[in-house]
Amino acid sequence: MANVVVVGTQWGDEGKGKIVDWLSERADVIARFQGGHNAGHTLVIDGVVYKLSLLPSGILRAGKLSVIGNGVVLDPWALLSEIDKIAMQGVQVSPQNLMIAENAPLILPLHGELDRARESSNAVAKIGTTGRGIGPAYEDKVGRRAIRVADLGDSATLDSRIARLLTHHNALRRGLDLPEIDGDALKAALLEIAPKILPYAAPVWKVLNEERKAGKRILFEGAQGSLLDVDFGTYPFVTSSTTLSGMAASGTGMGPGSVGFVLGIVKAYSTRVGEGPFPCELFDDVGEHLARVGHEKGTVTGRARRCGWFDAVLVRQTCALSGVKGIALTKMDVLDGLPELKICVGYSLDGEVLDYLPTASDRQARVTPIYETIEGWQGSTAGARSWADLPAQAIKYVRRIEELIQCPVALVSTSPEREDTILVTDPFAD
């Protein structure tokens, strides 16, 4: 049986939460491997809406182990708030069903302050971050000055970590006209929260490798989308982590051979939150239709998402980057009733036709999409659970997408509800 990695193949918001939740019934362990609480997953189960940010989507399944890997940057206060929130919905979280990597770096209040100060500065172009401190926390990780989960258990270690951290941050804050951080107050806050976080801490790499050797199925849950990858995304309008499937191994402490079937989540149209290039963006009635019917607002920030036609060029590119073996196509029902649909099959740039998105920012901003028009369908795809439930033209749309992105469809999601899913290929049976 294969382990399965779930990654978004667009700019995030593809519907990964529902797919991970659906797949988690077949898994034993569900592991988050990158990102932070800037990621938002909305799940609808029996009409109840659950909104998760840090917690793996598998937390809603009884008897499953959920893991937050070392590739995640962890805001401990946000995590506890999220645990309390879903407890009010009847979901209990304990060290028996949630484990946090001891070497996961922490997001501190100073990270969020720095993030927001940079975004509000007129001297620097806006990236469009969520302001949650994700980028500054990753900067501290690679700068070797992060405070990690394991550090919460030792007061002397905290002293040296805080001193190193504030040497850097207080110099930055002076330059931004922000007050310096009081190291004693920061330490007190960390020591206060430590007893609530440390019970979840564990050598995740060891536990996951033992689970794999025991034949357990592991589901790796990615956050954001491939086009926000710090290396291969629309840089600099990207997140601060690697969002491709390769991060599943290093972000949990497992070898690359532990990664099996890579499932790419693909929305039936395109959306993007924040700044940056978006070749297929629509500013007309169709764009408004997609935003309205698709309820296109960010789970975490509530920001409106920009909407556009499906971009086969980009999805083919991201499927190649992550080695995607099959896709889960989501939000088909949003396209119901549109008389015609368009798919981007190439780009035009300075008289040249391109079959990929160039790397240079100025070239990315100047590409124009080359569209193929496909007849829409008048029937409903909402709630379909088999191919027979789909209009014939909707099936043609799916098949054309497969051809253009050079990757087969493994799942089709036809509503936010858990069971409204058409299974074509079981990723765990690879």
Let me know if 295 is a catalytic residue.
Answer: no
Question: Per-residue DSSP letters for 267-321?
Answer: ESSEEE-SSS--TTB--SHHHHHHHHHTT-B-TTT-PBPEEE-EEHHHHHHHHHH
* Selected catalytic residue, list 13, 115, 311, 420: 13
Closest to 212 (Cα-Cα) out of 151, 259, 278, 163: 259
Please classify residue 188 by burial: count the beta carbons closer than 10 Å to its beta carbon, then call 0-12 exposed, 13-18 middle and 19+ buried: exposed
Q: Determine which helix (DSSP H) or strand (DSSP E) holds 79, and give its type and residue range.
A: helix 76-87
Residue 5: alpha-carbon gap to chain centroid: 12
- E-strand ranges in 132-260 read 201-202, 218-221
Please classify residue 299 by burial: count the beta carbons closer than 10 Å to its beta carbon, then call 0-12 exposed, 13-18 middle and 19+ buried: middle
Question: What is the spatial distance between Cα 369 and Cα 360, in angstroms, rounded to a whole number?
Answer: 17
Let me know if 41 is a catalytic residue.
Answer: yes
Dihedral angle sign, alpha carbons of residues 325, 414, 304, 109: negative
* Selected catalytic residue, list 21, 37, 41, 420: 41
Q: How far is CA 129 from CA 38, 125, 412, in A?
A: 9, 11, 30
Q: Which residues contact 381 (CB under 8 A, 6 or more apart)?
A: 332, 333, 335, 336, 389, 390, 391, 394, 414
Q: Give the active site residues.
A: 13, 41
